[in-house]
Amino acid sequence: MSNGPRTFHIRTFGCQMNEHDSERLAGLLLADGLVPAEGDATADVVVLNTCTIRENADLKLYSALGHLKAAKAARPGLQVVVAGCLAQRERGAIADRAPWVDVVVGTHNLTATPGLLARAATEGPVVAVLDAPDPEVARDATPALSAVRDVPYAAWMTIQTGCDNSCSYCIVPDVRGGEISRPLTDLVAEAELLASRGVTEVTLLGQNVNSYGRDLTGRGPLFAELLRAVGSVEGIERIRFTSPHPKDLRPETIAAMAETSAVCPQLHLPLQSGSDRMLTAMRRGYRAERYLERVAAARAAIEDLALTTDIIVGYPGETDEDFEATLEVAAAADYDSAFTFIFSPRAGTRAATLTDQFVPDEIVRERFARLKDLLDRSALAHHAARVGRREEVLVEGPSKRAVDVWSGYTRQGKLTHFPASSDVRVRPGALVAVDIEQAAPHFLRGSVAEVVRAPRHRVRIPLSVS
């Protein structure tokens, strides 16, 4: 094991919410005296922050735990933590199948991890999973304020935990609980603190951000007010959010997006299916016509809006007619990009019980390919229309595939590649103007015309995402 302070490494599986939970947990471990390690091989504490949404989540977890079992045999002082959504749901199974795990901690008490590690060191393995969240703990801003972020110029802000919807394919309400919103004043204070530390872009996180604040007011959501309030914080230049629910996208939210300059002209609005019959079976709470009306209202109000979505192919009982309806709505919505998923049953959801209605794999694959082709054509057309334009890009750094090519994102969330520059101001966190020269379905390519703003500097502490 390491000499000096104990070290930790966090591996994150899944969504942005999990990524931010890992940042918060890293801050708590630092405050407890631990320091970051380069990876699993040198860490005294390894945390696996798990997900239940992604396909084969349990296989990924147990594969990682198998490697860590061998590591623990070679380094007896190593402590292993399994946290997050899969820990919340499979607490007993994890303890039975992997008795070498020191701590199993759920989504509702992740902040207790440092204390649980201390307990495990003297008492042996600890399983600490709460069945319901404590609203006071969920609204506590302390872990967020001490979070260790992977990049210095952008930050997640959790505005709400849990979900009050009952989508038939989704396990989130079971593992995250009902909606609990953080106070608006706390969120504005957090944004102000982030700005003072050099953060210029924030992404507001919630399972259904459009309903943010409904549990605080008893009268209705506060999301539009939150957008305007965070948008007024000096130093915050870009605001993004995910995920909104189409049934709760209100006119005041669209107006706030249009009228608040810091809010990026990007809207991720999950469709899931274009068939009203499937939407009813999924318990989505809207019809295709209403969805397209919301899209039209957003596009009419917000200049140069980029629209993205999620679509599920092969939900139980989906017919050829249902799928054709999805193609029609996707064509009408004219998406900039989309995340497409083949239906995968999640134990504990209503959809997982509909085994007699599962769609044959070969049919699903054929439908998936047709949908992808339509969406790729739409994405390429949107990107091709940007060739010849000058786009403002927030620099992320070297591309994953070529060190002499750098990348960043436009205000519309478009991944943009450009040749590396010798200008010392073109570093991660800088804003640059890029002349767009080429387009592909999933990225733009161009060259830097000028530096709009130099970056602000902070030390980076890496966290891995699986």
320-336 tens-digit pLDDT: 999 999 999 999 999 99
Q: How many domains does the chain have?
A: 3
Which CATH number is 97's domain given?
3.40.50.12160
Residue 120 and residue 152 in one domain = no
Token digits for 325? Answer: 């309806």
Residue 178 and residue 60 in one domain = no
Evaluate whether 427 touches 455 at the Cβ level (below 8 Å): yes
Q: How far apart are CA 282 and CA 166, in angstroms?
A: 9
Residue 318 and residue 447 in one domain = no
With a CB cutoff of 8 Å and minimum separation 6, the contacts of 389 are 435, 436
Give the pLDDT band (50/70/90) at residue 141.
Answer: low
Give the pLDDT band (50/70/90) at residue 459.
Answer: very low
Give the pLDDT band (50/70/90) at residue 462.
Answer: very low
| Inside any domain, residue 103 | yes
Residue 102 and residue 169 in one domain = no
Q: Which of 384, 418, 433 is the last residue of a domain?
A: 384
Evaluate whether 320 touches 361 at the Cβ level (below 8 Å): no
Q: What is the per-residue pLDDT for 138?
A: 67
Q: Residue 188 above 90 pLDDT?
A: yes
Residue 363 and residue 398 in one domain = no
- H or E stretch including 410? strand 405-410
Q: How far apart are CA 79 and CA 301, in angstroms?
A: 53
Which CATH number is 434's domain given?
2.40.50.140
Q: Which of 62, 97, 128 is the last residue of a domain?
A: 128
Q: Residue 123 above 60 pLDDT?
A: yes
Higher pLDDT, 52 or 204: 204
Q: What is the mean pLDDT of the chain?
A: 91
Residue 188 and residue 320 in one domain = yes
When computed from its CA atoms, the radius of gyration of the chain, rounded to whole angstroms, is: 23
Stated length of the chain = 466
Give the pLDDT band (50/70/90) at residue 279.
Answer: very high
Q: Of 279-283, 348-352, 419-423, give the lowest mean pLDDT range.
A: 419-423
346-400 pLDDT per residue, tens:
888 999 999 999 999 999 999 999 999 999 999 999 999 999 999 999 999 998 8
Count of CA atoms in the C-beta half-sphere (13 A) of 326? 29
pTM, two decimal places: 0.87
Evaluate whether 288 touches 276 at the Cβ level (below 8 Å): yes
211-240 pLDDT per residue, tens:
999 999 888 899 999 999 999 999 999 999
Q: What integer is the mean pLDDT of 248-269?
A: 97
Q: Residue 295 above 90 pLDDT?
A: yes
Residue 64 and residue 112 in one domain = yes
| Inside any domain, residue 463 | no
Residue 108 and residue 238 in one domain = no
Residue 15 and residue 60 in one domain = yes
Closest residue by Cα to residue 294 from 335, 346, 358, 249: 249
Q: How far apart are CA 202 and CA 195, in angstroms?
A: 9
Give the pLDDT band (50/70/90) at residue 89.
Answer: confident
Domain range for 177: 135-384
| Inside any domain, residue 24 | yes
Q: What integer is the mean pLDDT of 277-294?
A: 98
Residue 403 and residue 287 in one domain = no
Q: Residue 302 above 50 pLDDT?
A: yes
Q: Residue 13 above 70 pLDDT?
A: yes
Residue 100 and residue 225 in one domain = no
- Exposure string for 351-374, b = 16+ CB within 10 A, e = fewer: bbebeeebbeeeebeebbeebeeb
Q: What is the per-residue pLDDT for 243?
A: 86
Q: What is the per-residue pLDDT for 382?
A: 98
Task: Work out the percent of the chain whose per-residue pLDDT is above 70.
Answer: 95
Residue 401 and residue 271 in one domain = no
Q: Of 168-177, 191-200, 253-262, give the lowest mean pLDDT range.
A: 168-177
Q: Residue 139 above 80 pLDDT?
A: no
Q: What integer is the mean pLDDT of 175-187?
A: 91
Higher pLDDT, 90 or 153: 153
Q: What integer is the mean pLDDT of 108-121?
A: 92
Q: Residue 192 above 70 pLDDT?
A: yes
Which CATH number is 349's domain given?
3.80.30.20
Higher pLDDT, 264 or 109: 264
